[in-house]
């Protein structure tokens, strides 16, 4: 029998997960099929249950269902609990569902493994205070940076988010505020705001980055995002978009489902070329 997996979302045509997971399966010699399900608005739970009844073993969840997935899961991993959202289900044979969130793992591994940058002892600036940032903070903190500062247009949201993760910070200083509260140079600047979707750049002060910084945009497009272009114009030598993050979070899902970690480098290169 061929094991079945799928991604569910609405819309779903843009999803890269089927191509990713089938590339991983081919590389690792795993017998599986991975499809895409257009989840009905208001019918997410039934669509998941139907796939589970049909023998599905796992699902990825994309917008707008990550919060519904969080509520549906019978059990949650610590990183899913911290993120407050779920992007991955393991569908157990006893009918229960384990919810996880691999988004933060994906960006952390892309930065440390593919880009060769360490968080340890570094000053990290994170732009935005939405779900993408929330999902990344626990994995970031696990890398033991010296400081994480969360900056958001609505300063109170950033402050609240920093306070929520204070118990997980260990020796890392974590704080939040508005863009006007950003002070000094940062080693790693990560854009998790929605600005790249609108072609805007967050209002960053002069001196926030230099040639040795890493500027990383969680978004990705065919052409460089406005954030990446702004960093390059400021002399930043190492910039990246979120394509590697997407591939790495998918590889983590594959590993958790199949017990094999695929080589992501050729998959990232193929998607970049395409």
pTM, entire model: 0.92
6's enclosing H/E stretch is: strand 3-9
Is residue 180 annotated as involved in ligand binding?
A: no
pLDDT tier at 187, thresholds 50, 70, 90: very high
pLDDT tier at 222, thresholds 50, 70, 90: confident
Residues recognised as catalytic = 66
Question: Residue ranges per domain, the chain?
Answer: 3-101+244-273, 104-241
Is residue 249 annotated as involved in ligand binding?
A: yes
Average pLDDT over the chain reads 95
Is residue 156 annotated as involved in ligand binding?
A: yes
Is the CATH code 3.40.50.10860 the one for domain 3-101+244-273?
yes
Query: Has residue 197 got a pLDDT over 80?
Result: no
Strand, coil or helix: 118: coil
| Residues 52 and 45: beta-carbon distance below 8 Å | no
pLDDT tens string 58-79: 999 998 999 999 999 999 999 9
As assigned by CATH, the class of the 104-241 domain is: alpha beta
Q: Same topology for domains 3-101+244-273 and 104-241, yes or no?
A: yes
Instruction: Give the model's pLDDT for residue 199.
Output: 85
């Amino acid at each position: 029998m061929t094991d079945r997996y799928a991604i569910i979302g609405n819309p779903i045509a843009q999803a890269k997960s089927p191509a990713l997971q089938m590339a991983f399966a081919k590389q690792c010699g795993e017998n599986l099929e991975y499809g895409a399900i257009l989840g009905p608005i208001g019918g997410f739970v039934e669509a998941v249950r139907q796939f589970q009844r049909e023998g599905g073993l796992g699902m990825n969840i994309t917008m707008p269902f990550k919060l519904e997935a969080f509520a549906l899961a019978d059990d949650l991993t610590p990183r899913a609990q911290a993120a407050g959202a779920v992007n991955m289900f393991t569908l157990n044979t006893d009918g229960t569902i384990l919810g996880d969130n691999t988004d933060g793992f994906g960006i952390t591994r892309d930065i440390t493994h593919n880009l060769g940058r360490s968080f340890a002892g570094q000053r990290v600036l994170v732009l935005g205070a939405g779900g993408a940032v929330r999902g990344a903070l626990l994995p970031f903190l696990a890398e033991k940076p010296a400081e994480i500062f969360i900056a958001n247009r609505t300063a109170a949201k950033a402050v609240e988010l920093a306070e929520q993760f204070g118990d997980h910070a260990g020796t890392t200083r974590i704080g939040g505020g508005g863009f006007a509260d950003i002070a000094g140079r940062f080693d790693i600047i990560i854009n998790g705001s929605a600005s790249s979707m609108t072609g805007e750049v967050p209002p960053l002060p002069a001196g926030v980055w230099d040639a040795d910084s890493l500027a990383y945009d969680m978004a990705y497009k065919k052409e460089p995002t406005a954030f990446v272009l702004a960093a390059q114009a400021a002399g930043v030598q190492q910039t990246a978009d979120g394509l590697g993050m997407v591939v790495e979070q998918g590889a983590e899902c594959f590993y958790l489902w199949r017990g094999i970690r695929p080589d992501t480098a050729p998959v990232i290169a193929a998607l970049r070329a395409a």
